[in-house]
Amino acid sequence: MTPAWQRYAPALIFLLPALVGLAVFRLVPILWSFVLSFYDWQIFDQPSFTGLDNYIHILTSPVSGQVLLNTAVFGLIYVPGSIILSLILASVLNNALRSSAFFRSALFVPYITSTVAVTLAWKWIFSTRFGLLNNALAWIGIDAAPAWLADPTYALPAVAIVSIWKDVGFYMILLLAGLQTIDPTYYEAARIDGARVLRRFFRITVPLLSRSLFFVLIIAIVRSTQTFEITYALTEGGPNRSSTTLAYFVYENAFIHFQMGYAAALAYILCFVLGLLTLVNFYFRRRWVHE
C-alpha cells in the first residue's frame, strides 16, 4: 500500500489552481462582503461598525424601496416573457421541417454577441425622433409613441425588452435540448387518439419538458436580478432612477459613491432574495415537475 500523500498528491496538484481560485476569488470575497455589510465605510475613510444599520436603511429608505420595486417589475416582465417566448420558439423549431439550423442560429446570435454593442444599436432604435421603432410605429399609425429611454414609465420596460431579446435564444437552446429527448411515440399515440395541437402541447410537451422548464426558470430568475451591462449602456439607471435595478444600484453605491459597506449589504439582500426564490421554486417543484 502506497502512503496516503503519494496516492492523493496527483489530485491535489491537479486541483491546486482551482483551489487557489476558489479560496481567493470566491470564499474570501463572500465572507469579506458579509462582514463589510455591517460596516459604514466610505473607501477613503476608516470603517466603523454599525451593526444592522445598512440593512435597516435599505429596507426603510424610499430610494432603495423604488430600486427593489424596479427589480421586481423587471423580473415580472423578463422571467415570464423570456420563458413563454422561448418555449413557443423551441416548440415551433422542433416541429419545423427545414432550415431549422438557420433559424436556431438567427435566434441564438443575440445571446453570444457583444452586449454593449447590440445595446447601443437598440439605443439608436429607441431614439425618440429619429429611431427606427417610433418611425415604424408612426408608419402603422401610432403617433403618440413614447420617448422610451427618456420616459420614466418606459425606460425599465425598454431594458427588459432588450434583455428578453438577447436571452431568448439561450433559453430556446436549453428547451430544444429537452424537447429532443421526448419520445415521439407519445405524439403518435396522441394523434391516433385525435388530440389537437394545443392539447398535445399542454398535455405532452409541457409535462415532459418540465425538468428543462424548471432549470430555465431558475436561470431566468438569477439573470433577471443581475442585469447590469444592458442597463449601463441603455439608460444608466435613469431617468430619475426609474430603470435602476438592484445589481445596478450595487455598482452605483460601491463604485460611484464608494459606500462599500452599504453596497455589500445591498448585494447580500440580492443574494438573500435570490436564495429565497430558489427555495420557493424547489418547494413547488414536485407540484409540477415530472421526474
Residues 150-169 that bind another protein (CB under 8 A): 165, 168-169
By C-beta, is 52 or 92 nearer to another protein?
92
124 binding another protein? (CB under 8 A): yes
Query: Which residue number, 53 or 258, has a Cβ lying nearer to another protein?
Result: 258
Task: Return the residue of 42, 153, 181, 240 that touches another protein, per CB under 8 A.
Answer: 181
All three cell numbers of 77: 416582465
Verify binding: residue 148, another protein, rule CB under 8 A. Answer: no
- Minimum CB separation of residue 103 from another protein in Å reads 5
State yes or no: residue 282 binds another protein (CB under 8 A). no
Would you give the distance in Å from CA 207 to the centre of its chain?
Answer: 24
Taking CB under 8 A as the binding criterion, the range among 14-22, 44-52, 60-68, 149-157 that sits at the site for another protein is: 14-22
- Pick the closer one to another protein by CB: 88 or 145: 88
Asked whether position 59 contacts another protein by CB under 8 A, the answer is: no
Which position among 211, 238, 239, 281 is part of the footprint of another protein (CB under 8 A)? 211
**Binding flag, residue 121, another protein (CB under 8 A):** yes
Question: Is 221 a residue that touches another protein (CB under 8 A)?
Answer: no
Question: Burial level of 167, CB count in 10 A (0-12/13-18/19+)?
Answer: buried
Q: Which residues contact 154 (CB under 8 A, 6 or more apart)?
A: 146, 147, 148
Cβ of residue 12: shortest distance to another protein, in angstroms? Answer: 7
CA distances from 207 to 195, 198, 211, 213 (A): 16, 13, 8, 9
Q: Least Å distance between CB 57 and another protein?
A: 17
Site for another protein in 234-263 (CB under 8 A): 246-247, 250-251, 254-255, 260, 263
For residues 233 and 154, give the distance between their C-alpha atoms in angstroms, rounded to a whole number.
16
**212 within 8 A of 242, measured Cβ to Cβ:** no
Other beta carbons less than 10 A from residue 41's beta carbon: 20
Residues numbered 66-95 forming contacts with another protein, rule: CB under 8 A = 85, 88-89, 92-95
At residue 40, the 3 state secondary structure works out as: strand
* Interface residue with another protein, options 30, 59, 63, 280 (CB under 8 A): 30
Kindly report the backbone phi and psi dihedral angles of residue 48, in degrees, each rounded to the nearest multiple of 5, phi listed first. Answer: -130, 135
Chain centre to alpha carbon of residue 85: 15
Residue whose grid cell is 422548464: 213
State the Cα–Cα distance between residues 122 and 239, nearest whole angstrom: 17
271 is a contact residue toward another protein (CB under 8 A): yes
| Contact status: 109 vs another protein (CB under 8 A) | yes
Least Cβ distance, residue 64 to another protein (angstroms): 14
Q: Which of 147, 182, 195, 206 binds another protein (CB under 8 A)?
A: 182
Site membership for another protein, residue 1 (CB under 8 A): no
Shortest approach of another protein to residue 78 CB, angstroms? 16
DSSP class of residue 259 equals B
Which ranges constitute the DSSP H helices of the chain? 4-22, 28-36, 53-60, 62-95, 100-112, 115-126, 132-139, 155-179, 184-192, 197-200, 206-208, 210-224, 229-234, 246-255, 260-288
